[in-house]
A and B are shown apart, each in its own frame.
Chain A
């Protein structure tokens, strides 16, 4: 385009210059230089402004991440050593280290229940349920002898420092074995999957108020006295939202109880179908949190007293059973002299018995051993 070239040259003040070879070569150099400049500056600019953002995985942070929502359950060990001096704190530290070393990492579905050892000298009559007693004595060889009722007779022949290590290892082994057993439960006895929030629903189910009695319960006081301490202790681990309801006319269960000379009974193979009634409205009020249902079932008057008789022909002491992954059911029989049409209120004392059962079932569903208290009693030193 010669006209354009002339105009540019006119602009640059070189009107009358003819196109010499040098000026053409100059022009070529200018063009080449500008193309190179474009590529040199332009390509990196385009690359940095149009590439896909990729975030780095913070591997170092992940490696040290340890969520601190754990529930610590202390196992109480009482040492009875009349002839030796035993340093309980040292043993506790050593045992704790050994237990923590042996523990495998938690999977995301597991409840983080950490068992620890709490070692004390034996005082008079400790009443903490589920404790172990270790009786130490001097002997020629080191040996451990387990007795019924969680008493271990330990004969130690080592010197004082080694003695502590031996006791610590024994304690650590016992606690680790318990924890391992609880975590490895599979199949029917598996604990619930871990979720940070659960909705626990207690239902009083009355089968037949018309031919029987109208039932109610003193639930507010009972829930505050019996359920709240457990819920509060579990708070660092999971939030349990407790709700209660009464179903006044629930209708019969899907399985009809068998007749007995003194009432009716259920056998263990009838129990799986017991809670499957489509008419019992056990729908959860919480749309997001998974639910655990506990039912206190009051049978119709003609079926009372309703008992559960297991395969060995023994009557169940608690009349209750756990439905794995769902909740638990306890059967409440009214007093024998209840007449049809009466109005019965289940008092706090009776509710204490039933809630003891429900708390035991809840502990099993969560994966805590049943007889270990979550907070040891402070009375015993």
Chain B
């Protein structure tokens, strides 16, 4: 997802990347500084321009909630703050081990769906977003968005309650499975999308193939005001800026 949003033009100043493990530079990684999504190793997801904002032990439930609600310490640098306002579209993607109503952080704690719902409610009260796209890829992911009740949130989960979200290709060189199915098929869809694409979220959801993903992705649209068929992917995944031509210069040096 990080690769996708960067490819579609969102700069690092507008991306907050939280990685609890450093897989690319892990001593057990036989292909250092590279993260592949397929045993054929055609696509390096890590790329050559990665900015990780929260790493290792900084990825905690407390830091995540503080980030969302804006209650960060006064000396937090700008790249670790969520500097959104009431006109921003926020895209949140979470993945890891999880279960019914929880997601595991750091092997020692969990964030549950009530926490996230409360954080979103606070964000709405403080007008920190216009729309949120929340995508989650864990086991029983659809339970994570069941507790939201703030407006303008579109949620997509990888598997429903009682179902596991499975991982995809097993790479025999590395000895692990390199990517989850749901994330892999999302990535495959986005490889065909670029900056000026006019495809919509309805296209993305229609492209989910349950038999390939081997779980039932769920979508929650009752809180989302717009029609999915009219919501462009670039609204969330790309950076489309408002531009205005400058018609005349200011006459400096002449009238002062």
In angstroms, how far is the closest chain A Cβ from the Cβ of B232?
13
With A254-B9, A363-B250 known to touch, is A321 a contact of B239 (CB < 8 Å)?
no
Distance A265 CA – B161 CA, assembled complex (angstroms): 54
* A318 in complex: contacting residue of B9, B240, B241, B249, CB < 8 Å: B249
* B195 in complex: contacting residue of A127, A273, A318, CB < 8 Å: A273
Distance A188 CA – B85 CA, assembled complex (angstroms): 14
Q: Are B245 and A316 in contact (CB under 8 A)?
A: yes
In angstroms, how far is the closest chain A Cβ from the Cβ of B202?
23
With A272-B240, A276-B195 known to touch, is A318 a contact of B247 (CB < 8 Å)?
yes
* A326 in complex: contacting residue of B83, B87, B196, B241, CB < 8 Å: B241
Question: Is A42 positioned at the interface, with any CB of B under 8 Å from its CB?
Answer: no
Distance A271 CA – B248 CA, assembled complex (angstroms): 18
Question: Is A278 positioned at the interface, with any CB of B under 8 Å from its CB?
Answer: yes
Q: Are A226 and B244 in contact (CB under 8 A)?
A: no
Report the contact-size class of chain A (Cβ under 8 Å from the partner).
35 or more
Q: Which positions 320-338 of chain A face chain B at CB distance < 8 Å?
A: 320-326, 328, 330
Distance A237 CA – B13 CA, assembled complex (angstroms): 26
Q: Are A360 and B249 in contact (CB under 8 A)?
A: yes
* A320 in complex: contacting residue of B77, B87, B246, CB < 8 Å: B246
Chain B residues bordering chain A, tally (CB within 8 A): 32
Q: Are A276 and B9 in contact (CB under 8 A)?
A: yes
Question: Is A310 positioned at the interface, with any CB of B under 8 Å from its CB?
Answer: yes
Question: Is B40 positioned at the interface, with any CB of A under 8 Å from its CB?
Answer: no
In angstroms, how far is the closest chain B Cβ from the Cβ of A294?
11
Q: Are A356 and B251 in contact (CB under 8 A)?
A: yes
A317 proximity list for chain B (CB < 8 A): 247-248
Question: Is B212 positioned at the interface, with any CB of A under 8 Å from its CB?
Answer: no
* B249 in complex: contacting residue of A128, A278, A353, CB < 8 Å: A353
Q: Are A357 and B245 in contact (CB under 8 A)?
A: no
With A278-B6, A278-B11 known to touch, is A226 a contact of B252 (CB < 8 Å)?
yes
Distance A254 CA – B6 CA, assembled complex (angstroms): 12
Q: Are B245 and A321 in contact (CB under 8 A)?
A: yes
B256 to A, closest residue via Cβ:
A229
What 10 new A-B contacts, CB under 8 Å, besides A188-B243, A276-B10, A308-B245?
A268-B243, A272-B240, A276-B239, A278-B6, A282-B11, A322-B245, A322-B246, A323-B241, A356-B249, A364-B246
Question: Nearest 4 CB-CB pairs, A to B?
Answer: A356-B249, A188-B242, A276-B9, A360-B250
